Structure 1
């Protein structure tokens, strides 16, 4: 089974795997890890339920596709567009940090291509130390998606945070009322 099939099987019913996330999975099938820093593709499918236990409505609004080394979760936030290719990519952080990282899966690929070790913790305004190690992934997304990656990720993350400012409140409001 291809990794993209495993990730797709974990998505909410009716939500298609975005092309850019499929590209990440295809890179992993062809090259193995690392993709970028500590980022890993999630094929377990249990993370939305662990963040929003007993609330299938909330679980359907999050399509998990990745994890960081500290237990953080990377997902699509499906409340803004019916097209998953246009959904913002969010971080559900292991220490309660909830933020929008990229406006879309395509921009998330560019952010991964920068080469940060841990998107949850690294200063995205600095040049990442793992940039050289991420060269194969950058070449892959350039060839497959026509994407170039900036030297830093701060503009991608800041623009996404400005465009989708309510994510942290959305999560914490649910937590306050349900946990």
Structure 2
């Protein structure tokens, strides 16, 4: 394990920041300091960017411009900046989105997070931010490096954290609101009605039938996940409904563009809870979606450059 260096992807980190906001020099310099050091020596994480779409939060796509998630933990948790209402967009607080539902404001700033790494001030829910006990600890070296940087505003790990908004409350309210939004959405209600023949046989609240949808330009495919992806009779009749949903979402948040894939669960009470994929190239009839069709969608619904995935930006 001691021979394994930290995974670092600066391109993905830069791309994870909202348009108009660049990765801070402290983060870039920390990545350079960390490069080549044994994984686990100052914490068990990787420096890799991701969008809120893929973070452990309900319906995270609309929150892309509220986060800059630059750190991933082995359990799927994510750490990064939070651009909440009224917060400093140049030096946002650092929050954790936990895979087990732990949502916490970890530090009032990036400086504060790095200071906490050196002092190992993390509770059980965030123990992956502590050094690995099988690797030689390098938090003292990190503290020396931080002390040798040009002086900024003095900052202790917990400085001013009591003055910041309630992050856990924000996430819990967002989750409730989005679940209510989709549970009462007109198109989702119609989708559930049209797929009533596929309601799960079980009646427990968590019983559901899973579906996958791919749309790219004129291409379309829908599958029910029953012993693997399978075609189903109603697929063609729900296409127009799903395209209407796609357009409605584009109008509501045009900078996201058009999603290319959707997965959803149909619950026993008829509710439909969706997830959307804006970045992965969809597979249709066993082949990657035609690039010409995907690009036509991009022309019709342009995105900020850093939100255009590499496969779609290719000429």
**TM-score relative to the length of structure 2:** 0.44
Correspondence list, 1:79-98, <5 A: 79=84, 80-83=87-90, 86-98=91-103
- Aligned-partner SS, 1:91: strand
CA contact (8 A) 2:45 2:73 kept: yes
CA-based RMSD = 3.3
Correspondence list, 1:74-113, <5 A: 74-79=79-84, 80-83=87-90, 86-113=91-118
1:37 and 2:55 correspond: no
Structure with higher strand content: 2
In the alignment, the residues of structure 2 paired with residue 29 and residue 90 of structure 1 have an alpha-carbon distance, to the nearest angstrom, of 23
Deviation readout 1:20-72 (Å, 9 max, x if unpaired): 222221112353534522132123x24x112353643x221011011223221
Instruction: Report how many aligned residue pairs link the two structures.
Output: 163
Structure with higher helix content: 1
2:10 matched residue in structure 1 = 4
1:27 matched residue in structure 2 = 33
- Which runs of 5 or more structure 1 residues have no equivalent in the other structure? 123-127, 148-154
Structure with the bigger RCO (C-alpha within 8 Å, sep 6+) is 1
In the alignment, the residues of structure 2 paired with residue 30 and residue 146 of structure 1 have an alpha-carbon distance, to the nearest angstrom, of 26
In the alignment, the residues of structure 2 paired with residue 12 and residue 53 of structure 1 have an alpha-carbon distance, to the nearest angstrom, of 17
**TM-score relative to the length of structure 1:** 0.73
- Aligned-partner SS, 2:138: helix
CA contact (8 A) 1:41 1:66 kept: yes
